[in-house]
Amino acid sequence: MVEKDCVFCKIVAGELPSEIVYEDDDILAFKDINPVAPVHILLIPKKHIPTITDIEEEDAALMGKLLLAAGKVADKMGIFDRGFRLVNNCREEGGQMVYHLHFHLLGGKQFGSVG
Ligand code: 5GP
Ligand code: ZN
């Protein structure tokens, strides 16, 4: 399912360039265009799901794959043992800008407590 005005669907389709760091049949991970940490990767399902609140039962395995990919990407980026932060911004008050479900994998620096 491709949403024609979705920037991340365009990246999945190869219509927009990106620096891909991991790809399999269901998941894509690429560098954030505006990094806020030394490592800042966006992890997305290739399937267009707008927000984390739009996940359905049939997406359960896909979400598991996304979390497994987070570990693989963290390993590839050299932050598996040091630790990292995995962030999802959901809807307006969550600060979501792109309405294609994604996790920010942030690392390479020390974070404080959330909030
Ligand atoms: P959100 O606020 O929706 O959680 O975060 C969206 C993220 O997508 C932002 O960190 C922004 O820098 C990133 N982003 C937006 N457009 C593009 C793009 O075309 N390419 C890449 N690589 N990142 C993008
Ligand atoms: Zn999309």
pLDDT averaged per 10 residues, the chain (length 115): 88 97 98 98 98 98 98 98 98 98 98 87
Instruction: Identify whether 104 is a catalytic site residue.
Output: no
Between CA 72 and CA 12 the distance in angstroms is: 19
Marked catalytic residue, from 40, 48, 100, 102: 102
Instruction: Verify whether ligand 1 is closer than 6 Å to residue 51 (CB atom).
Output: no
Query: What pTM did the predictor assign?
Result: 0.97
Ligand with minimal distance to 5 CA: 2
- Ligand 1 centroid to Cα of residue 18, in Å, is 11
CATH code 3.30.160.160 for 7-107: no
